Amino acid sequence: MIHFVLLISRQGKVRLTKWYSPYSQKERTKVIRELSGLILARGPKLCNFVEWRGYKVVYRRYASLYFCMCIDADDNELEILEIIHHFVEILDRYFGSVCELDLIFNFHKAYYILDEILIAGELQESSKKTVARLIAAQDSLVEAAKEQASSVSNMIAQVTK
Amino acid sequence: MAAASASSSSPSLIDTLFQRSLDDLIRVLRSSSSAALEAAAIARALDEIRREIRSPDLDTKVVALQKLTYLASLHHFDMSWAAFHALELLPSTSLPQPRAAYLAASLSFHPSSTDLLPLATHQLRKHLAPSPSNSPAVAAPALHLLALASSPDLARHLAPDLLPILSNQSSNPLRPKAVATALRVLAVCPDTAPVLFKPLVECLSLSSDPRAVSAAIGAFCELALAAPDPSPYLPLAPEFYRLLVDSRNNWVTIKVLKIFARLAPLEPRVAARIVDPVCQLLRRFTAKSLVFECIRTVFSSLLDHDAAVRLAVDKIKEFLASDDDPNLRYLGLQALNMLGPAHSWAVEDSREVVIQSLNDTDTNIRREALRLIMGMLCDSNVVDICNMLIKYAIKSDPEFANEILDEVLATCGRNVYELIVDFDWYVSLLGEMVRNPHFAKGDEIERQLVDVGLRVRDARPELIRVARNLLIDPALLGNPFLCKVLSAAAWVSGEYVEFSRNPLELVEALLQPRTNLLPPFVRAVYVQAVFKILAYSFISFIEQIQAGESLAIGNSLNQRGGKQEGSDLVAAKSSSDQNNAFEIGDGVATADKAILFDSIEKQETFKHESISCLLNLIETVVGPLSECGEVEVQERARNVLGLILIIRGTQFWNIEEGHELTRDNKITKMVELMESAFSEELGPVSTNAQKRVSVPEGLILNENLSELLDILGDDDINPCASVSFSLRNHHSTETNQDSATAIEPNSLLAEHRKRHGLYYLPMDKDKSESNDYPCANEPLLPVSHGEDTEDIVKLPAQSLIPEKAKPTKPRPVVIRLDEGDGVSSSNLSTAKESKDDMLSGAIRDVLLRNEKKPSSTHKTSSDRTSQRRENDGSENSELISQQKESNSFGDREHGKSSSRKSRHHHKERIESSGQNRDNEEKSHRHSAKSSHHHRRHKHRQRGDAPLDIVPQSPVIQDFLL
């Protein structure tokens, strides 16, 4: 299974973290520090796998962002690379040629998308279309709820409460 | 604090209206240029958040929570204190609020440290309940939270609530999510297996939504991989097989292959069935991930099937040959690594690529290649491969060079040197490793040098030769990484001096001027080695004389003068020869010559002059050490000086022709004493040795030691002077010898210079430069890097393949202690495993019960599968009837208890979906249920013992066509 997902920028800034195995906050900080040191130091044209504490970390660089996933030693590395690519393609489709800034300012959206793809460290949805549809449906629901909340009658109800 | 909370409990409307949004926060953080500014901005934001999050207005609260989530997940701030606020927002009816709360909770809740977790139970159940008011937009994050943060209690309480979603046949997008969640719930709380397992199995069926199938396969893959014993999943093999053949989804196929890799070793028929499909996948598919998974499956579980292995090895060759994709090369090496020595032909086929990978730009690939090569080692190829690697290590970068040394040391030393036949070779290899320019493995080499000495008697002559070569080289002394090795070499030279060809040379090496660069603890070993060698030389000298006494001695006297000169010449020549040999780096070729010279030398070693020369040398160098600040060194130096004193003190020493006085009692006694001091051989000590010593009767180990104080006090006053090592005596001799020592150093230095002239700088050099020896570890032959790999590829012409050539000499005896020696005892029983055992036990229980008591749904599914099988054209009606027979047989045998169990259980489930209103009643039910769980669990354990073993094998047979 996937133990965690990290998005790290080339400067070592963390852009997204998702933990599927229980790590305490302290361990998380330590893991991120260790791995960003390990991965950012690797040059281009090397293999995309790093052994780390008995696990394997599969990473791939897209522009200035490193997408890293930590897996068990007997998991399939190439499959994870495909999952990473899958995730990136979905992000790309959703944001329209995604860039780092999109992820910075829509950080919860990125989480919702990731949650549609992976649950509990397992790949959930292998169809890009379906994910796009699900996310769009959620967005419209949320928008509708927001509109309702900001409607005039609602505001009046709140003030007079 | 009180004021703060008072103000924060009622944030003004202004606060609410002018609250900074998440975007504002992100902008502020991005615009802060320095780290200090950023930290200040974050601190300010945290203050705001603490105030805003207490607001009664939910919108304000949500925004605060979002900001906090952002800071926690990307800037690693602890947000466990806000757990309650996240829980507060869960029941909100406005969609964005619970979603933000779920996001915060799933990112920050920790199953063991979040103690508010039980508070979420009710809300989670509400969101999971299949009612039209619940949109999947909240049910999905609820499932997500349950998967990530479920404690055993939470898992147990909410497992029944997963059922409606799990068994929903329509293509509900929540179903695959529920499957993944169920997997985590099962992992956390194995007790839930009876509830959750059957719906999971049903997800595999043909009619299910393909996404549910994919999720279920993922779940079973995790379960089978994590279980210490995957046999409970064997009955599901037909379902998996169907997916393996039919599935068009690579991701599913990969998972199925993983499951089969676990199942195949358990049941040879499974292996036989899947070989063909796997080979077809290998041939047909181009997706590398799938091909790689097939290869892994073959290498891990189908090694008996030659055709498959050959096919997989061919694919590996393709992987290894892909120059543009380092991933494939890495994985290819890794896969080859799984094969082990039994299939070394596969590695041999790609030998060149493997060895060239040692030179790859990627350290991971290099490491993998190294691991692979080490994995191929066996006693017939160890010599070639290790020689090759050590030569290679000289040219590689420092980190990797030490990795190579590490691997070689670890592999050769494994299990008390089980791979090594030729210890002479191994010992000289150890010596060679030390010459590596990047050498940093002093500790391990030190241990092995001493260990081989203790364990392998036959290796000692070579060991002392290696030790001598190390000790004699002054350039090694300045290297801090080597002092451990030198310490071992010094110990060896003292302990096994009887195998030395020239003890005097050893003493000179041990006392050379640059030894003052060594740390004191090594210096102490050096001095002690000198002590041993001196004792040995003196004893040999006396024995030589005693032996010679019976012969005619007179004639040798006349010739001595001339011969001495000659031998000096020879000695000088031989040592310079050896030095040259060093420089060239082929010590072997000149070793024979050296033996010849040394044997000539040795006859002349223990003459009166040489001994006295030795004494003078030792006295000169060790003398100052007796004032050394380090007690270890000082004490040992005094011992040595004391011994010299005794030797000098004997009457015999003052008389020219010693043989007359060897009958002197004092000398014989002394010789006996020294012999007895060092003659006893040291052996390896078992780690458990101390335990085996029985406590003698009457010895009370716990007794207070205060009585010893008196004795100790006495000791202080009267230093034991029996061997006259006393301070006063020593001083007097030193003054006596003053005149001698004044002359000695120069002559000795001159001699040393003559002998090891190579290592001395020209006379006119400044003293301050004396440390600038030529770099000790210069590669011996300058080799251009371009031809490295070609050289290396040529080197082991047949090295990787195990040759069956007879070793030229039999393996020497290696002393090996029975227990606790070299073999690390592995304690495999861990808490996790026991948990897994529980899980697989529970699952086995569920599956077997399914077999025996098909419920209506199961009946249809099994009917369907049997129909499918008939459609497949396999002639298995007989087997099916057998299966039915065994089912009914199982029914008869276990029907009663299990039916009671499951019926009861069924009722529970109905209850759980039925009554969702009353909280109190529910909690009551929970407690009742959990206690019931315990009872049932116990009951099952009791009843299962025979059930596990007896009916299982027939059940498996039925499925495996």
B98-117 per-position pLDDT tens digit: 888 888 888 888 877 777 87
Q: How many CB atoms lie within 10 A of CB B624?
A: 10
User: What residues of chain B lie within 8 A of the CB of A108, using their CB?
Assistant: 66, 69, 100, 103
Question: Given B23, B113, B219, which is nearest A24 (Cβ)?
Answer: B113
Q: Could you tell me the domains of chain A?
A: 2-160 (3.30.450.60)
In this prediction, residue B437 carries a pLDDT of 82
Give CA separation, B97 vs A151, B79, B101, B136, B892, in Å: 17, 18, 6, 14, 55
Do B364 and A72 make contact, defined as CB atoms within 8 angstroms? no
Write the CB contacts of B762 (distance below 8 Å, at least 6 apart in sequence). Answer: none
Taking the Cβ of residue A11 and every Cβ of chain B, the question of whether any pair is shorter than 8 Å is answered with no
For every residue of B580-649, DSSP letters joined together read HHHHHT-HHHHHHHHHHHHHHHHHTTT-HHHHHHHHHHHHHHHHHHTT-SSHHHHHHHHHHHHHHHHHHH
Spatial distance between the Cα atoms of B638 and B842, rounded to a whole number of angstroms: 73
Residue B424 in this model has a pLDDT that exceeds 80? yes
Task: Report the gap between the CA of A15 and the closest CA in chain B (Å).
Answer: 6
Q: pTM for the whole thing?
A: 0.67
Helix (H) or strand (E) holding A45: none
Task: Report the gap between the CA of B207 and the closest CA in chain A (Å).
Answer: 18
**Angle A116-A119-A124 from CA coordinates, rounded to 5°:** 60
Spatial distance between the Cα atoms of B334 and A51, rounded to a whole number of angstroms: 12
Spatial distance between the Cα atoms of B333 and B343, rounded to a whole number of angstroms: 14
Q: What is the largest CA-CA distance in chain A?
A: 64
Q: In chain A, what percentage of residues exceed pLDDT 90?
A: 15
In this prediction, residue A68 carries a pLDDT of 93
Q: pLDDT tens digits, residue range A109-138?
A: 888 888 888 888 888 777 778 888 888 888
Question: What's the burial of B322, exposed, middle or buried (CB within 10 Å: 0-12/13-18/19+)?
Answer: middle
In this prediction, residue B748 carries a pLDDT of 55
Do B177 and A22 make contact, defined as CB atoms within 8 angstroms? no
Question: Given A77, A122, A149, which is nearest B180 (Cβ)?
Answer: A122
User: What residues of chain B lie within 8 A of the CB of A21, using their CB?
Assistant: none
Question: What's the burial of B67, exposed, middle or buried (CB within 10 Å: 0-12/13-18/19+)?
Answer: buried
In this prediction, residue A155 carries a pLDDT of 66
Spatial distance between the Cα atoms of B338 and B8, rounded to a whole number of angstroms: 62
Spatial distance between the Cα atoms of B594 and B571, rounded to a whole number of angstroms: 10
Taking the Cβ of residue A146 and every Cβ of chain B, the question of whether any pair is shorter than 8 Å is answered with yes
User: What residues of chain B lie within 8 A of the CB of A128, using their CB?
Assistant: none
Q: Which residue of B has its CA nearest to A105?
A: B23
Residue B160 in this model has a pLDDT that exceeds 50? yes
Give CA separation, B854 vs B202, B764, B859, in Å: 13, 100, 5
Question: Given B149, B211, B222, which is nearest A1 (Cβ)?
Answer: B222
User: What residues of chain A lie within 8 A of the CB of B173, using their CB?
Assistant: 130, 134
In this prediction, residue B585 carries a pLDDT of 38
Question: Given A20, A78, A104, which is nearest B26 (Cβ)?
Answer: A104
Backbone angles phi, psi at B183, to 5 degrees: -60, -45
Tokens at residue B227, please? 């279980």
Q: What is the mean pLDDT of residues A67-83?
A: 90
Low-confidence winner among B467-481, B671-685, B914-928 (lowest mean pLDDT): B914-928
Taking the Cβ of residue A145 and every Cβ of chain B, the question of whether any pair is shorter than 8 Å is answered with yes
Q: Give the pLDDT band (50/70/90) at residue B335.
A: confident
Give the CA-trace dihedral at B381, B383, B388, B391, to 10 degrees: 170
DSSP state of B846: H
Q: pLDDT tens digits, residue range B810-866?
A: 677 777 765 544 444 444 444 445 555 666 676 667 666 554 444 443 433 444 444
Low-confidence winner among A73-82, B246-255, B601-610 (lowest mean pLDDT): B601-610
Structural contact between residues B439 and B402, judged by C-beta atoms closer than 8 angstroms: yes
Q: pLDDT tens digits, residue range B889-912?
A: 444 444 444 444 444 444 444 444
Q: Give the pLDDT band (50/70/90) at residue B575.
A: very low
Q: What is the mean pLDDT of residues A76-100?
A: 89
Q: What is the ipTM of this complex?
A: 0.89
CA B125 from chain centre, in angstroms, equals 45
Do A108 and B173 make contact, defined as CB atoms within 8 angstroms? no
Question: Given A17, A81, A104, which is nearest B73 (Cβ)?
Answer: A17
Q: What is the mean pLDDT of residues B790-819?
A: 54
Q: pLDDT tens digits, residue range B394-418?
A: 888 888 888 888 888 888 888 888 8
User: What residues of chain A lie within 8 A of the CB of B148, using their CB?
Assistant: 19-20, 120
Do B362 and A108 make contact, defined as CB atoms within 8 angstroms? no
Q: What is the largest CA-CA distance in chain B?
A: 122
Structural contact between residues B117 and B154, judged by C-beta atoms closer than 8 angstroms: yes
Question: Given B183, B225, B364, which is nearest A47 (Cβ)?
Answer: B364
Do A124 and B144 make contact, defined as CB atoms within 8 angstroms? no
Do B74 and A15 make contact, defined as CB atoms within 8 angstroms? yes
Backbone angles phi, psi at A55, to 5 degrees: -105, 175
SS3 per residue for B397-455: CHHHHHHHHHHHHHHHHHHHHCCCCCHHHHHHHHHHHHCCCCCCCHHHHHHHHHHHHHH
Alpha helices for A41-150 (secondary structure H): 77-95, 100-105, 107-117, 128-150
Spatial distance between the Cα atoms of B736 and B739, rounded to a whole number of angstroms: 7
Residue B869 in this model has a pLDDT that exceeds 80? no
Do B327 and A19 make contact, defined as CB atoms within 8 angstroms? no
Q: Give the pLDDT band (50/70/90) at residue A66.
A: very high
- Best of B23, B172, B362, B832 to substitute, by most chain A Cβ atoms within 10 angstroms, is B362
Do B364 and A51 make contact, defined as CB atoms within 8 angstroms? yes
Do A142 and B66 make contact, defined as CB atoms within 8 angstroms? no
Taking the Cβ of residue A133 and every Cβ of chain B, the question of whether any pair is shorter than 8 Å is answered with no
Spatial distance between the Cα atoms of A45 and A128, rounded to a whole number of angstroms: 28
For every residue of B733-796, DSSP letters joined together read HHHHHHHHHHHHHHHHHHHHHHHTGGGSPPTTS-GGGGG-PPPTT--SS---GGGHHHHHHHS-
- Which residues, in sequence order, are bridge partners of residue B910? none
Residue count of chain B, please give it: 961
In this prediction, residue B21 carries a pLDDT of 81
Do B365 and A47 make contact, defined as CB atoms within 8 angstroms? yes
**Chain A from 29 to 88: CB within 8 A of any B CB:** 29, 32, 43, 45-51, 72, 74, 76-79, 81-82
Task: Report the gap between the CA of B703 and the closest CA in chain A (Å).
Answer: 48
Do A142 and B218 make contact, defined as CB atoms within 8 angstroms? no
- Best of B327, B328, B365, B371 to substitute, by most chain A Cβ atoms within 10 angstroms, is B327
Q: How many CB atoms lie within 10 A of CB B505?
A: 22
Backbone angles phi, psi at B294, to 5 degrees: -60, -45
In this prediction, residue B818 carries a pLDDT of 54
Taking the Cβ of residue A139 and every Cβ of chain B, the question of whether any pair is shorter than 8 Å is answered with no
Question: Given B66, B95, B144, which is nearest A141 (Cβ)?
Answer: B95
CB pairs under 8 A between A and B: 151
DSSP state of B484: H
Q: What is the mean pLDDT of residues A61-85?
A: 90
Spatial distance between the Cα atoms of B200 and B219, rounded to a whole number of angstroms: 8
Question: Given B30, B144, B184, which is nearest A115 (Cβ)?
Answer: B144
In this prediction, residue B772 carries a pLDDT of 43
Give the strands of the sheet with A65-71, arranged side by side. Answer: A14-19, A2-9, A65-71, A55-62, A49-52
Structural contact between residues B10 and B55, judged by C-beta atoms closer than 8 angstroms: no
In this prediction, residue B197 carries a pLDDT of 83
Q: What is the mean pLDDT of residues B329-349?
A: 82
Mean pLDDT rounded to a whole number for chain B: 69
Residue B460 in this model has a pLDDT that exceeds 50? yes
Question: Given A115, A126, A149, which is nearest B251 (Cβ)?
Answer: A126
Structural contact between residues B349 and B379, judged by C-beta atoms closer than 8 angstroms: no
Task: Report the gap between the CA of B145 and the closest CA in chain A (Å).
Answer: 9
Spatial distance between the Cα atoms of B846 and B850, rounded to a whole number of angstroms: 6
Residue A38 in this model has a pLDDT that exceeds 70? yes
Question: Given B70, B184, B254, which is nearest A76 (Cβ)?
Answer: B254
Structural contact between residues B834 and B393, judged by C-beta atoms closer than 8 angstroms: no
In this prediction, residue B769 carries a pLDDT of 40
In this prediction, residue A160 carries a pLDDT of 65
